[in-house]
Amino acid sequence: MIKKLKECPFCKSTLEITEYHCPNCDISIKGKFEEEDFSQLTAEQWELLKAYVCCDGYKIEIADKLKISESTVKTKLAEITKMLCSQAQEKPERSPVMSESRDVLDELCNRKQEIVLEELRDLEDD
């Protein structure tokens, strides 16, 4: 089966979904259908989300699994969040103090995860 096309192979315009078909009862439904938010994601973004779920959201493990930097993981997750979340659902702005505190806690958590992973690798090497 061919993956869902997002653009016309000839002119590169965005394709519209105009028909659904049930192979079981052979019924087709025609119309103009809106795409779901997740259908806008690229294959790379899907791979990142899959890694996110498999690694329980631990950015250092995601980075290790995908062989990219932790800052790249953070940036790409922010892009996905921006794409999927409408303005009505956006998080309220955090105060600078709250934001800085959260950044420090995130950094401590990430460092702790790095230490644990290093210790596990050392145990495997022994």
Give the tens place of pLDDT for each residue, 48-88. Answer: 999 999 998 889 899 999 999 999 999 999 988 888 886 44
How far is the CA of 58 from the CAs of 54, 105, 107, 116, 123, in angstroms? Answer: 9, 14, 12, 12, 21
At 24, is the pLDDT very low, low, confident or very high (cuts 50, 70, 90)?
Answer: very high
Alpha carbon distance 18, 87 (integer Å)? 28
pLDDT of res. 3: 64
pLDDT of res. 88: 40
- For the chain, how far is it from start to end, CA to CA, in angstroms? 46
Strand partners, 21: 28
**Mean pLDDT along residues 93-109:** 72
**Is the per-residue pLDDT at 14 higher than 90?**
no
How many C-beta atoms lie closer than 10 Å to residue 109's C-beta?
13
